[in-house]
A and B are shown apart, each in its own frame.
Chain A
Amino acid sequence: EAGVAQSPRYKIIEKRQSVAFWCNPISGHATLYWYQQILGQGPKLLIQFQNNGVVDDSQLPKDRFSAERLKGVDSTLKIQPAKLEDSAVYLCASSLPQYFGPGTRLTVL
């Protein structure tokens, strides 16, 4: 079966710019997760969706981060405006524990 897809794979922006990431989970998977992995640390949950509803967004910095999952399938994660400390790999996963995407590596200059 096809795995979790993410795009872009790499993104370099300057601070205060906006950026968006896209995730396509495995077909039929109701639960979708976005994790942030800062260099040298383990992944940390940002937001969890069940279909198109939010289950947990307690760790999402809502002043600058937003996420949506329209129609309960694809999801986008947006950062506006970006800060230097947002440099990280952003991982999407569907219906854990098995399935992670390849991640998007964000560099904020």
Chain B
Amino acid sequence: AQRVTQPEKLLSVFKGAPVELKCNYSYSGSPELFWYVQYSRQRLQLLLRHISRESIKGFTADLNKGETSFHLKKPFAQEEDSAMYYCALGALTGKLIFGQGTTLQVKP
């Protein structure tokens, strides 16, 4: 079965602290994984995808096929990073299978 699990509903950190948002997936083929972000009152937007292997807004994510994980990391959190983060798995048809999301709260 295709499934994405984000174990934390809420992650609260202080400004400047490291952040790691966890994502585990279940997929029988070769996965395509994404992180989406939704800031308050804004639409869902793509943050990064594993095939790009790039850093966006200081965030990175590495696909670990052995652990079936795609955790999102940032070394120093900023207050403007406060948002809802969704991990998603791309199926062959193009549809996305989303996790339940993690709210990141960065305190001053």
Contacts and interface: CB of A to CB of B under 8 A. Distances in A.
Interface of A: 3, 31, 33, 40-45, 48, 55-56, 91, 96-98, 100-103
22 contacts: A40-B9, A40-B100, A41-B101, A42-B86, A42-B99, A42-B100, A44-B98, A45-B96, A48-B94, A55-B94, A56-B93, A56-B95, A91-B44, A96-B94, A97-B49, A97-B90, A98-B46, A100-B44, A101-B43, A102-B43, A103-B43, A103-B44
B93 A96 contact: no
Nearest to A44: B98
Interface of B: 4, 9, 34, 43-46, 49, 86, 88, 90, 93-101
Contacts, number: 50
Contacts of B4: 42
A94 B79 CA distance: 31
A96 to B, nearest CB: 6
Given A91-B44, A97-B34, A100-B43, A41 B93 contact: no
